[in-house]
Structure 1
Amino acid sequence: MRASLIALLLALPAVPALALPPPCSGGQVYVDRNGNATRDAGEPGLPGIKVSNGIDIAVSDAQGEYNLPYADGRTLFIIKPAGYDLVVLPDGLPARWRNLQYHAGPVLKYGGIPQRQPDCTHFGLRPQAAAKHDELDVLLFADSQTSSAQDVDYYWRDIVQPLVGKHGAALGLTLGDVTNDDLSLYPQILRTTMSLQVPWLFIPGNHDLDFDAAGDEDSLRTFRHHLGPDTFAWEEEAVTFIGLDDVIYQPGKTPAYFGGLREDQFAFLQAYLPTVRKDRLLVIGVHIPFFEAGPRGFRAADRERLFALLEGFPHVLLLSGHTHTQRHWHHDATTGWHGIRPLHEYNVGAACGAYWSGVKDAQGIPDTMMADGTPNGYARLRVLAGGDYALSWQAARAEDDTGIGLHAPRVLRKGAYPAWGVYANVYMGDARTRVEYRVDGGEWKPMKRVEQPDPRLLVENMRDDLADRLRGYDRSPEAEPSPHLWRGALPTDLADGDHTVDVRAFDAWLGERTASTRYRLQSP
């Protein structure tokens, strides 16, 4: 009986196994007239739109169709063209990417990229309002670096909430270290940031890594799942943005990471840069500064290779984060730049300042001044036609922000040798900035730029040292020499009593900025 059954089964025709459709990395770009993220009848395809997988670039044809080589685990993204807006997803992010994961990816603590059906990817665009074409205001955040839900609350109340409904920006950019190693906080950070109701672009940092990844190629899977591609481009009428992951992760080695670019990123740049207009500003955003030296600094060969690709562009701005300080750097031949003019890099201060440290104020938010004396906050970039731009720094929750932090002694002996001075920390200053001071409305005199710690932060360091219990969850950072600090000697040959000190700094973009303080002379 058993033998007969086996024979019968062998005689049946073979049934082919059900097969999944082949993976697809092509699709359509179309005009999404109703903004529902679905191509409906009557919505035409858009030709000439660039789509990339981070290496190759495809251009949509007359019907809006494009096709790219399939690569499991890569991120497919549209390069938003000038004159169009992207459809907004329920989480508030623009619908500009999709991760390709036909087979199961590596198992990671924070999830990585989920496996998904291998269907094609379509991108919807909507014509942009004409009013957006002339200039562009951009919010620049760096290093929100939250370690807990408490830190996310600080980020909300200190940085984001004061801007809601008031900022007037058309775009936002975060320059890495969105969180501080706890990638489970991405949804909270995303909800908080997107309450600003503006398209937002995220660049990864060294604290955004999947540290349990086997190698650098898989170290941003969770970041890409929540926040988008680690290489991207975004075009507006007045500016082109390119965002690049510049953290090379090397698990099990020392150091665990360093700054640099991958070969696939250079392939993307070599394919994309020839298509970029040169009559508008080109912004390159990264996390680790291009000027950063040392074992964890930016690899010199990669910097020179990138700079060679940028030499033909007359209007370039580099943006970076990472340092939790703030400075302007002007690249020249010593760092591999051989353009006609120095190449400007703005190293943006941290939203979290010094990792949400220091004494809390009346609202329960830490002071978190950075090690160079810059208050935590965010920057603004105003892009103008023809490649010009303006930058500014906004201290968190500072309603009357002069951009200058002053320190002077409260009292000096009348007639003493004038060995004590007023210090001015000009947060957006550099070696080219002119800073002057006067006493009691007298003659303006130049202040001397000094590379030393900000005395205001030294006072906090001393208070922390002398305290017999913690003054905050974490104490303020140890003060380090500031690249934007000036000093002027205070006269002691004036009358007894109070004297007013005025300081003015000539900002490259905002013009004259002023601040005032007082000191007192006392006879012994």
Structure 2
Amino acid sequence: MKQLSFVLLCSLCVSSLWAQSTAKGYVYEDTNGNNKKDKKEKGIANVAVSNGVQVVLTNEKGEYQLPVGDDNILFVVKPSGYKIALDANNLPKYYYIHKPNGSPTLKYAGVAPTGPLPASVDFALTPYQEDENFTALVFGDPQPYTPEDVENFTKGIIGEVEGIKNVSFGLTLGDLVGDNLDLHAAYRDAVKKVGIPWYNLMGNHDMNYDATTDAHADEAFEAHFGPANYSFNYGKAHFIILDDILHPDPRDGKGYWGGFRKEQLDFVENDLKLVPKEHLIVLAFHIPLYTDGESFRLEDRQRLFDILKDFPHTLSLSAHTHYQQQNFYTKSDGWLQEKPHHEYNAGTTSGDWYSGEYNEQGVPASTMRDGTPKGYIFLSLQGNQYTIDYKVAGKPKEYQIDIFAPNVVPIERNTTAKVYANFFMGSKNDLVEYRIDQLPWKAMNYVEEFDPHFLSLLNRWDTTETLMRGRRPSNAVKSKHLWTTGFPSGLTEGTHTIEIRAKDMFGRTFTQTKTYRIEKTPR
């Protein structure tokens, strides 16, 4: 009898340990919208669920099982044709945090102890007519350091898109705040006013910098926004959201470095095994995949490229730099397909960190160091194809080119001044042309120089006799979307029009005009 009791006790111990290390539950159709699985609500088969590394599909009853440790976030990978309930902040409720002991003690609080794992961790979905042609709203780096910055973000950006229509969801590409993680709640309060489902990813200024391991650098982010690595589907697009900041930097134990932990790339590999090859794969992370190994760990980028080699339709979105550029990765960079991989390194909603003179909106103009005005992005998808539009805050959507040229030149002699065109979404692969009045179009020359308009803004700060309101902009960086030509000669006295046209990577043409005068020099 004693031996039988011992065997039973051991069996119970093993069962108890198994229950503590295995999460199970249902993905179900929430017919009454109460976000709770009721008896009559049926499970949904073939839906992906993950613990952040492994990814499994639900069975015919909608059931899943996954191993968990003491620091896991379980989440459902939203399938196309379904929507997820939102919380009071318009954040999708797609995850369950399992931290029985809570987050470690850090300067900025993480997750409180969640207690024992529930007997069933269930995820609610609701059928939804999802169009394969849709638009997402994308923000780069709001990055407020102070409550005043939050007000400028709210007034200068949120006020312009609040209540926006015909946009399916939003995504912020990291640096939701600027090191003061107490402002995460204020950022969240601002963005919920847009009125659409909103996804977030972590930036280097959203981290718990006092964390001693990279796995714990996202504790405050998780408390406010959920997992730092996750995925979801919409139409024929599969979005993968990743934290690509290694902190502490494994090279010296200080600061941070761009890259991924092994288990993050394991998640990407496991996740993509369940995604159709013909779907568009949209990767979103904060630090761009630079070819410069000082900025990004190249072996991590290579493994990511290896995982993507059989997916012909891909796009990466990044931010972080506070300027704008189009990066194209080819075989020389380790990309394994003939067609280059496009990474859009997006301009930011904070621009040049809320610097510069105050504009007509009553907020800092905050033009970025490459001459790109601050703004936000519309990512439009048509099946597995995409287009990207950059919207300058406070300007008409047609404003895509800034022209810098003299306002008046002398008729008696040629000027050495030049015409510059900053095509905000351009790259060196694009064609940019100019004409004066209705003369024939001529190609402009692509250059990588400081944007002269931005330099003129800096000069105002550096030559003023009285202090100006606000903060001086940062020093200029060379623009990756700038074209120039010599000023035309031989025209008559009077007013003339410079017209610029640019054709982007998606085959669309944009134009901008500026007038100038030719006059006699005063005697």
**Cα distance, 1:237 vs. partner?**
2.2
Q: Which residues in structure 2 correspond to 1:27-66 (within 5 Å)?
A: 27-66=25-64
**Aligned residue number for residue 324 of structure 1:** 322
Question: d(CA) in 1 for partners of 2:465 and 2:471?
Answer: 14
Question: d(CA) in 1 for partners of 2:150 and 2:33?
Answer: 31
Give the match's secondary structure for 2:273.
helix
**Cα distance, 1:294 vs. partner?**
5.0
**Aligned residue number for residue 508 of structure 1:** 505
Give the match's secondary structure for 1:224.
helix
Q: Is the 8 A contact 1:437 1:445 kept in 2?
A: yes
Closer/same/farther in 2, CA of residues 348 and 99 from structure 1, 3 Å limit: same
Q: Is the 8 A contact 1:210 1:222 kept in 2?
A: yes
Aligned: 1:258 with 2:257:
yes
Q: Is the 8 A contact 2:30 2:124 kept in 1?
A: yes
Find 1:165's aligned residue among 135, 152, 163. 163
**Aligned residue number for residue 475 of structure 1:** 472
Give the match's secondary structure for 2:266.
helix
Aligned letter for 2:122? Answer: H
Closer/same/farther in 2, CA of residues 247 and 417 from structure 1, 3 Å limit: same
Aligned: 1:487 with 2:492:
no
Aligned letter for 1:110? Answer: Y
**Aligned residue number for residue 124 of structure 2:** 124
**Aligned residue number for residue 306 of structure 1:** 304
Give the match's secondary structure for 2:188.
helix
Question: d(CA) in 1 for partners of 2:58 and 2:272?
Answer: 18
**Cα distance, 1:406 vs. partner?**
1.0
Q: Which residues in structure 2 correspond to 1:240-389 (within 5 Å)?
A: 240-250=238-248, 253=252, 256-291=255-290, 293=292, 295=294, 297-385=295-383, 387-389=384-386
Question: d(CA) in 2 for partners of 1:400 and 1:233?
Answer: 30
Aligned letter for 2:360? Answer: A
**Cα distance, 1:510 vs. partner?**
6.5
Find 1:454's aligned residue among 436, 451, 465. 451
Aligned letter for 2:48? Answer: K
Aligned letter for 1:465? Answer: D
Aligned letter for 2:280? Answer: L
Aligned letter for 1:206? Answer: N
**Aligned residue number for residue 203 of structure 1:** 201
Q: Is the 8 A contact 1:214 1:251 kept in 2?
A: no
Q: Which moved more, 1:364-373 or 1:332-341?
A: 332-341
Question: d(CA) in 1 for partners of 2:102 and 2:379?
Answer: 41
Q: Which residues in structure 2 correspond to 1:126-145 (within 5 Å)?
A: 126-129=126-129, 132-145=130-143
Closer/same/farther in 2, CA of residues 24 and 301 from structure 1, 3 Å limit: closer
Cα offsets for 1:339-394 (capped at 9, x unmatched): 12111111111111001111112332001000110011111111112x21111100
Q: Is the 8 A contact 2:156 2:361 kept in 1?
A: no
Question: d(CA) in 2 for partners of 1:93 and 1:105?
Answer: 21
Question: d(CA) in 2 for partners of 1:366 and 1:210?
Answer: 28
Question: d(CA) in 2 for partners of 1:76 and 1:469?
Answer: 57
**Cα distance, 1:80 vs. partner?**
0.5
**Aligned residue number for residue 424 of structure 2:** 427
**Aligned residue number for residue 102 of structure 1:** 100
**Cα distance, 1:472 vs. partner?**
3.4
Runs of 5+ consecutive residues of structure 1 not aligned to the other structure: 1-18
**Cα distance, 1:188 vs. partner?**
1.4
Question: d(CA) in 1 for partners of 2:223 and 2:412?
Answer: 67
Q: Which moved more, 1:500-509 or 1:231-240?
A: 500-509
Question: d(CA) in 2 for partners of 1:432 and 1:392?
Answer: 17
Closer/same/farther in 2, CA of residues 392 and 104 from structure 1, 3 Å limit: closer
**Cα distance, 1:241 vs. partner?**
0.3
Question: d(CA) in 1 for partners of 2:336 and 2:44?
Answer: 39
Aligned letter for 1:141? Answer: F
**Cα distance, 1:493 vs. partner?**
2.2
Question: d(CA) in 2 for partners of 1:490 and 1:103?
Answer: 69
Cα offsets for 1:125-173 (capped at 9, x unmatched): 00012xx232121111110111111111111121122112234210211
Question: d(CA) in 2 for partners of 1:363 and 1:141?
Answer: 19
Question: d(CA) in 1 for partners of 2:136 and 2:293?
Answer: 31
Q: Is the 8 A contact 2:361 2:394 kept in 1?
A: no
Q: Is the 8 A contact 1:230 1:243 kept in 2?
A: yes
Runs of 5+ consecutive residues of structure 2 not aligned to the other structure: 1-15
Give identity over the alignment, percent. 34
Aligned: 1:409 with 2:406:
yes
Q: Is the 8 A contact 2:132 2:234 kept in 1?
A: no
Cα offsets for 1:222-273 (capped at 9, x unmatched): 1011112111110122200001110000179465101011111122122121
Closer/same/farther in 2, CA of residues 291 and 167 from structure 1, 3 Å limit: farther
Give the match's secondary structure for 1:383.
strand
Q: Report the number of matched residues.
A: 502
**Aligned residue number for residue 12 of structure 2:** none
Give the match's secondary structure for 1:25.
strand
Indicate the RMSD between aligned Cα atoms, in angstroms: 1.9
**Aligned residue number for residue 498 of structure 1:** 495
TM-score (norm 2): 0.92
**Cα distance, 1:400 vs. partner?**
5.1
Question: d(CA) in 2 for partners of 1:220 and 1:375?
Answer: 30
Give the match's secondary structure for 2:204.
coil
